[in-house]
C-alpha cells in the first residue's frame, strides 16, 4: 500500500474510517479517497483526521448510483474497497427499488469504472446474508457477489476483482453491542430468539483480513474468515449480567443461525489455513490454484451453530474478553 492511491466507497462508515486510518498511519498510502454521499459524516471525518493528514485524505461527495461522479473519483486509483451498501434488512424490504439501485446497480458502476480506469485490484465486501438468502438485502448482495466475480472475465483483464464475505463486526455503527448497551440502561435486553447464534469479530481483525485478501487474491475468489460464534443471549448477558433478557420473536428476513459457506458451495471451497476460499464456478473462468489449498470436503458447511464450541463457559469468557475491546 505504500505510495498507492486507494478509493473506499461508503468511506464514512465504520469499515471505511478504520481502513482509511490504517492506510494513512501504518501503510503510508499516497492518497486515500473517501467516496460517500453523507456530507456531514465527511465533515466530521475531515475534521478528525485532516489536520494531521491534509495531503493524504481526499473527500468526494457522491453516490455509487452516479457512474459519472464515481468514474471521476476513481481516476488514478490503484485499489478500490467497495463497502457502500444499503444494509438494514427492514429498510431494504420496505424500499426494494432503492436496495437494487444501490447494492446491484451501484456494484455494476464500481466494476465498470474500475475497468475504465484500469484499477489494479477491487475488493467488494459482502455478507453472510448472501448465503441462501431469504431477504432482499441478502439477495442483492448475492447478485453483487456474482457481478464482481464474473467481472474478471471482462475487457483486458488488467483489473482483478474478489469478494470478502463476513458477518457481524462488534462495535461497528449500529451493531448489536450499541443496541444492547443502550437497552441495558433500562434493565432489560431484548433478543429476537434465545436460540440464535452469530459469528463475531472485531473491526481491527476485519481490516487485517481484507488487506490480506487483497494481497493474495488472483481474482474471482470469495474469501471467508475463520470466526468464532456464540449465542446472542451470551453476548447480552456479558454486557449486563443483572439485566432481564426477553425474547421478541424472530423478525421477517432473519435467520436463527448464520451461514458463511453453504453445503452447496463446499465442492468449490478450500482451506488456506488463514481463511476459507470459495473458487468461482464459471466454466469460462481461468482461475489459478491457491498455494497450500486443501479441499474442505463435500459435506462441509460453515454455520454459526455448527462451529459453536461445546464448552459454553469458555465461550462466555471469550465473549466477555472481546467486549473489553469494543
Catalytic residue among 41, 87, 129, 141, which? Answer: 129
CA nearest to 168, candidates 78, 84, 260: 260
What span, in angstroms and rounded, lies between the C-alpha atoms of 157 and 286?
11
Mark 51-71 as b/e (b = at least 16 C-beta within 10 Å).
eeeeebbbbbebbbeebebbb
For the chain, the average pLDDT equals 90
34, 143, 151, 261 from 63: Cα distances, Å: 11, 19, 21, 30
In three-state secondary structure terms, 173 is coil
Q: What is the pLDDT of residue 53?
A: 63
Residue listed under C-alpha cell 475488493: 123
Is 129 among the catalytic positions?
Answer: yes
pLDDT at 173 over 90: no
pLDDT at 309 over 60: no
Residue by residue, DSSP assigns 72-126 as HHHTT-SEEEE------HHHHHH-HHHHHIIIIIHHHHHHHHHHHTT-SEEEEEE
The per-residue pLDDT for range 178-202, each reduced to its tens digit, is 889 899 999 999 998 999 999 988 9
pLDDT at 289 over 90: no
Residues 6 or more apart whose CB falls under 8 angstroms from that of 135 comprise: 89, 92, 93, 129, 252, 253, 254
Q: Is the dihedral of CA 61, 64, 65, 68 positive or negative?
A: positive
Q: What is the pLDDT of residue 311?
A: 61
- pLDDT higher for 54 or 222? 222
What span, in angstroms and rounded, lies between the C-alpha atoms of 80 and 124?
8
pTM here is 0.92
Q: Is the dihedral of CA 174, 132, 250, 198 positive or negative?
A: negative
CATH superfamily of 5-167+200-227+259-300: NAD(P)-binding Rossmann-like Domain (3.40.50.720)
pLDDT at 54 over 90: no
Confidence bin at 274 (pLDDT 50/70/90): very high
- pLDDT higher for 88 or 209? 209
What span, in angstroms and rounded, lies between the C-alpha atoms of 70 and 64?
6
Lowest mean pLDDT among 14-18, 65-69, 102-106, 278-282: 278-282
95, 194, 240 from 182: Cα distances, Å: 27, 19, 11
Q: What is the pLDDT of residue 312?
A: 66
What span, in angstroms and rounded, lies between the C-alpha atoms of 199 and 228?
6
Average pLDDT value for residue range 245-263: 89
What span, in angstroms and rounded, lies between the C-alpha atoms of 98 and 105?
10
Q: What is the largest CA-CA distance in the chain?
A: 60
Amino acid at each position: 500500500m505504500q505510495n498507492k492511491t486507494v478509493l473506499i466507497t461508503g468511506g464514512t462508515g465504520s469499515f471505511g474510517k478504520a481502513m482509511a486510518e490504517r492506510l494513512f498511519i501504518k501503510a503510508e498510502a499516497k492518497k486515500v479517497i473517501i467516496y460517500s454521499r453523507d456530507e456531514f459524516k465527511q465533515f466530521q471525518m475531515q475534521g478528525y483526521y485532516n489536520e494531521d493528514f491534509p495531503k493524504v485524505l481526499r473527500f468526494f461527495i457522491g453516490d455509487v448510483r452516479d457512474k459519472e461522479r464515481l468514474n471521476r473519483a476513481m481516476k488514478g486509483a490503484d485499489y478500490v474497497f467497495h463497502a457502500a451498501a444499503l444494509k438494514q434488512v427492514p429498510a431494504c424490504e420496505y424500499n426494494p427499488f432503492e436496495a437494487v439501485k444501490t447494492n446491484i446497480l451501484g456494484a455494476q458502476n464500481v466494476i465498470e469504472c474500475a475497468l475504465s480506469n484500469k484499477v489494479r485490484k477491487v475488493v467488494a465486501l459482502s455478507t453472510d446474508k448472501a448465503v441462501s438468502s431469504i431477504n432482499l438485502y441478502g439477495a442483492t448482495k448475492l447478485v453483487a457477489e456474482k457481478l464482481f466475480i464474473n467481472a474478471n472475465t471482462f475487457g483486458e483483464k488488467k483489473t482483478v476483482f474478489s469478494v470478502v464475505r463476513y458477518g457481524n463486526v462488534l462495535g461497528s455503527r449500529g451493531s448489536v453491542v450499541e443496541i444492547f448497551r443502550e437497552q441495558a440502561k433500562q434493565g432489560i435486553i431484548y433478543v429476537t430468539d434465545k436460540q440464535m447464534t452469530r459469528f463475531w469479530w472485531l473491526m481491527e481483525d476485519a481490516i487485517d483480513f481484507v488487506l490480506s485478501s487483497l494481497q493474495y487474491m488472483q481474482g474471482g475468489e470469495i474469501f471467508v474468515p475463520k470466526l468464532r460464534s456464540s449465542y446472542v443471549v451470551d453476548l447480552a448477558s456479558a454486557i449486563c449480567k443483572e439485566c432481564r433478557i426477553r425474547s421478541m420473536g424472530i423478525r421477517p428476513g432473519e435467520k436463527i443461525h448464520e451461514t458463511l459457506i453453504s453445503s452447496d458451495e463446499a465442492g468449490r471451497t478450500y482451506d488456506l489455513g488463514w481463511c476459507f476460499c470459495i473458487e468461482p464456478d464459471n466454466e469460462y473462468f481461468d482461475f489459478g490454484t491457491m498455494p497450500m489449498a486443501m479441499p474442505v470436503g463435500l459435506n462441509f458447511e460453515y454455520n454459526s451453530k455448527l462451529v459453536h464450541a461445546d464448552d459454553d463457559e469458555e465461550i462466555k469468557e471469550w465473549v466477555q474478553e472481546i467486549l473489553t475491546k469494543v
